[in-house]
Structure 1
Amino acid sequence: MQTYNRQVNANVQAYLENVHTHHPSAPATMEAFRKGLLDVMPGWSGEKTALPLVVQRLVNPNLSVTVYSPQPGIQPALLYFHGGGWVRGSVATHDWLCRNLAAQSGVAIVSVEYRLSPEHVFPAAVDDGFDALLWLRDNAVSLDIDVQRIAIGGDSSGGNISIATLLRAREAGIALAAQLLIYPPIEARFDTASYNTYAEGYHLTHQTMQRCWQAYTGQEENARHPQAAVIHNDFRGLPPALIIAAECDPLRDDGRQLATRYRQAGVPVQYSLYPGTIHAFFLMPALLPEAREAQQEAARFLRDTLQ
């Protein structure tokens, strides 16, 4: 039986023991890896919220978004990028999350179906992110979205894409209102204390992150590019941020380092660490009360920052 760090809480330990018993090894193929996330999501998420309006729109022949509107009338929006290590996940896997965030925050969620790696390596996902942002601004009136109150965010790899898209927006002179980042990876280095402590047995592994980074960046020089290794940027002038982190997660210290750099650059930031939790906990409200608390915190942040 796996021996867990004492910080892991009882609900998380029960989940990990079940995973290790019934799914003892990583999927052998990318197809199985992708299907695995879609298969587990119903058990993680629980019921999804009904909304008055959910519409899909085509940005270009290779890119679509789904807009989740919590109420009629002009409203702020969050441009959202799903997680999945840049190689899996979709609007479908995160449909329930976007519905819940929209309902809890009163903010429209615009979920981006960006291209996945390794079929489409960096910077394809960031290109899609920026294209989606430009499209959202151009179509804000028809979508009943206030163009002055657009935020950006995502979970895990989606957080990384969010930061890169935000930096492109700043270069283009586009101001955004807020950023919601849930355990984002910030560079392809694997030597932090959290990577060393939680390398194996805590859902996300050191090896999995290495493989995901390699699939996403393709070439070594891409991994060093500042729109992939996003920590290597000047962050001055970025909007207020909430960074949600899991204690027992290899990426815990990525978020902590990003928060420190934000503060040094004068960016208003809250780094919110959830004790005893693991990577992807934010997606597990049916299993973990901490996930429900974190989603409520995210919704409050959006409501308070954008309303």
Structure 2
Amino acid sequence: MSANPLPTPGMSAQPLDPQVAQLLDLIARAKRPPIHALDVFDAKVAYEKSAPILDVSPPPVHTVENLHVTARDGHQIPVRLYAPREPSWTDPQPLLVYFHGGGFTVGSINSHDALCRRLALDGECLVLSADYRLAPEWRFPTAANDAFDVMQWAFDEATRVGADPSRIVLGGDSAGGTLAAACAIEARDRGLAPVLQLLIYAGTCARQDTPSHRALADGYLLTAEMIDWFFSQYLSRPEDRDDWRFAPLDGGGDGADVRGCCPAWIAVAGYDPLHDEGVAYVRKLQAAGVPATLADYPTMIHDFFKMGRFVKAVAGAYADAAGALRAAFAPGEA
């Protein structure tokens, strides 16, 4: 027998971060029903209550302003604008348009408040966080359409809110990362020019059948059952999976054409079922001539950016993301 057996396909070669392992053990001991075992309304409430428990305390920023963006159907999309310093129309700040995670079903600008504050401070930029409509009340492609409408508003109204329209980044985590990736494609088609897409453990594939999905189907917070539940809330028809607005990696047969999209910084976690599709999306962008950087955190799990209260290593990932933002915003980097 070999002393060094081959690693399991789809499984990280490095052990879980000890603090992550301890956190998973605490969650298991609590024996609370997982989100997908709850009524949808109760799941939304449970997620909102649990979000601040694991995350760092929301740091103070200069100003926080709640606004609304009018969607194409007249719906008023709540958005929240974070400013790390006093807005100045003579010295406009760069802007990150951010879409929260939550499987298109849970989450809000409130659940991701601390994360957006951190990115505003560390990235030295305005952050516009979007409260796009959620499933099952609003199914595909409503979330994508809302994201497109917020993106367009950000470019149109940048000067009015003290932002520099030539320095806008599209970002998001998990399902929000899916929306940010779709926005980057849509931005190219509309003639808009974001300087970066910041994708944090984003979903990109039409079907969850990668090695990491198989190897990490249970036991690492985001499970196969949970993913299936989220998508059953969001998607109305089987063919929705093959739409690039849901699956920018392989939706639509050969997948969406990503040539000419803005550069990307893509974070993946070693113990996340979504790991392999994030890596594959980096390769797809690179093959299309799009500069794409992979930030692989082999000891982390899905949603780790929101676990800074318990996991010290999260601070390093934030520093990496903030560095990517500042580099994209720097003159001559776009």
State if a TM-score over 0.5 links the two structures. yes
CA–CA distance in structure 2, aligned partners of residues 130 and 25 of structure 1: 34
CA contact (8 A) 2:115 2:305 kept: no
Q: Which has the larger radius of gyration?
A: 2
CA–CA distance in structure 2, aligned partners of residues 298 and 29 of structure 1: 35
Q: Which residue of 2 aligns with 1:106?
A: 124
- The answer as to 2:175 corresponding to 1:157 is yes
Q: Which residue of 1 aligns with 2:153?
A: 135
Q: Which residue of 2 aligns with 1:47?
A: 57
Give the secondary-structure state (helix, strand or coil) at the position aligned to 2:128: strand
CA–CA distance in structure 1, aligned partners of residues 29 and 42 of structure 2: 18
Give the secondary-structure state (helix, strand or coil) at the position aligned to 1:97: helix
Q: Which residue of 2 aligns with 1:200?
A: 218
Q: Which moved more, 1:34-43 or 1:255-264?
A: 34-43
CA–CA distance in structure 2, aligned partners of residues 25 and 45 of structure 1: 20
Q: Which amino acid aligns with 2:221?
A: H
Q: Which residue of 1 aligns with 2:323?
A: 300
Output the TM-score relative to the length of structure 1: 0.95
CA–CA distance in structure 2, aligned partners of residues 104 and 256 of structure 1: 25
Q: Which moved more, 1:6-15 or 1:178-187?
A: 6-15
CA contact (8 A) 2:168 2:196 kept: yes
CA contact (8 A) 2:170 2:197 kept: yes
CA contact (8 A) 2:207 2:241 kept: no
Q: Percent identity?
A: 33
CA contact (8 A) 1:180 1:241 kept: yes
- The answer as to 2:47 corresponding to 1:37 is yes
Q: Which amino acid aligns with 1:276?
A: T
Q: Deviations over 1:167-204 (max 9, x none)?
A: 11211111111110001111231211101111001100
CA–CA distance in structure 1, aligned partners of residues 26 and 306 of structure 2: 17
Give the secondary-structure state (helix, strand or coil) at the position aligned to 1:267: coil
CA–CA distance in structure 2, aligned partners of residues 183 and 126 of structure 1: 18
Deviation, 1:214, is 2.3
Deviation, 1:9, is 2.1
CA–CA distance in structure 2, aligned partners of residues 269 and 169 of structure 1: 17
Select 1:249's aligned residue among 272, 284, 298: 272
Deviation, 1:223, is 1.3
- The answer as to 2:78 corresponding to 1:64 is yes
Deviation, 1:56, is 1.0
Output the TM-score relative to the length of structure 2: 0.88
Q: Which residue of 1 aligns with 2:19?
A: 11
CA 1:12–1:58 in structure 2 vs 1: closer, same or farther (change >3 Å)?
same
CA–CA distance in structure 2, aligned partners of residues 43 and 64 of structure 1: 24
Deviation, 1:79, is 0.5
CA contact (8 A) 2:175 2:202 kept: yes
Deviating above 3 A after TM superposition, structure 1's stretches of 4 or more consecutive aligned residues are none
Q: Which residue of 2 aligns with 1:263?
A: 286
CA–CA distance in structure 2, aligned partners of residues 32 and 188 of structure 1: 27
Deviation, 1:24, is 4.7
CA–CA distance in structure 1, aligned partners of residues 185 and 158 of structure 2: 21
Instruction: Write out aligned runs for 1:116-131 (5 A).
Output: 116-131=134-149
Q: Which amino acid aligns with 2:84?
A: P
CA–CA distance in structure 2, aligned partners of residues 24 and 13 of structure 1: 17
CA–CA distance in structure 1, aligned partners of residues 56 and 247 of structure 2: 34
CA contact (8 A) 1:86 1:216 kept: yes
CA–CA distance in structure 2, aligned partners of residues 178 and 46 of structure 1: 26
CA contact (8 A) 1:41 1:93 kept: yes
CA contact (8 A) 1:274 1:290 kept: no
Q: Which moved more, 1:18-27 or 1:81-90?
A: 18-27
Q: Which residue of 2 aligns with 1:273?
A: 296
Q: Which runs of 5+ in 2 are unaligned?
A: 1-10, 250-254
Give the secondary-structure state (helix, strand or coil) at the position aligned to 1:142: helix
- The answer as to 2:35 corresponding to 1:22 is no
CA contact (8 A) 2:184 2:262 kept: no
CA–CA distance in structure 1, aligned partners of residues 304 and 266 of structure 2: 14
Deviation, 1:269, is 1.1
CA–CA distance in structure 2, aligned partners of residues 236 and 166 of structure 1: 11
Deviation, 1:297, is 0.8
